[in-house]
Amino acid sequence: MTAQPDHPVGGRIPAIPLTINAIGDSLSGEERAQFYREVLAAEAAAVPAVMRLWWKTAMLNRAPGAIRGRADATTGRGLVSVDALIARVEGADR
């Protein structure tokens, strides 16, 4: 058994395994309940798509500052224009 850090190492967030239990365990409250409702209601062929969607949500929730970022976006605080965001990304690539 190996221990996994609770914080990103080298700027990377450890991936959540793509399993129903791991995804469910990574979500909280209403998100977890909604995930289980959707995965249980899905036809067999649609289950992987439901899992991928919620896996992405769970991974985004793990990003540093995710909760604050969503709250800021909801209230309109700290918003960045698309042009400014592109400039930031292009600057980071150099």
Does 75 fall in a domain?
yes
- Higher-confidence residue of 31 and 63: namely 31
CA atoms within 13 A on the CB side of 3: 3
Task: Give percent of the chain above pLDDT 70.
Answer: 85
Contact 13, 59 (CB under 8 A): yes
DSSP 8-state assignment for residue 15: P
Does 4 fall in a domain?
no
Q: Which domain holds residue 47?
A: 20-92
For residue 22, give the nearest of 59, 63, 65 by alpha carbon. Answer: 59
- Residue range 1-31, pLDDT digits in tens: 455 555 555 667 889 999 999 999 999 999 9
Query: What are residue 78's phi and psi, to 5 degrees?
Result: 65, 25
Considering its fold, how many domains does the chain have in total? 1
Task: Report yes or no on whether pTM surpasses 0.75.
Answer: no
Does 38 fall in a domain?
yes
Residue whose tokens read 């395994």: 17
Does 29 fall in a domain?
yes
Does 8 fall in a domain?
no
Does 5 fall in a domain?
no
Does 10 fall in a domain?
no
DSSP 8-state assignment for residue 6: S
